[in-house]
Amino acid sequence: MITPELSGATWRKSSRSGTNANCVEVSELTHAVAVRDSKDPSGPILAFERAAWAQFVCRLPSER
């Protein structure tokens, strides 16, 4: 389990999210990637080791 320091985190969401409120925000940290619900920025945050996040992203289907 990782507990990253989030005080200086810069959050971003997909440019394809548009006005859709059902999005997640991602913050790339030094040793982890943090993910949170864009509708509840003070709510829970999931943190993943960078290698685990990379494996997850690589397995996402590509848009065509």
The pTM (predicted TM-score) of the whole model is 0.78
How does pLDDT run across 9-49, given as a tens digit for each residue?
899 987 777 676 678 899 998 889 999 988 888 899 999 99
Domain boundaries, the chain: 24-58
User: Which residues, 6 or more positions from 22, have their beta carbon under 8 angstroms from its beta carbon?
Assistant: 39
- Kindly tell me the burial class for residue 21, based on how many C-beta atoms sit within 10 Å of its own C-beta (0-12, 13-18, 19 or more): exposed
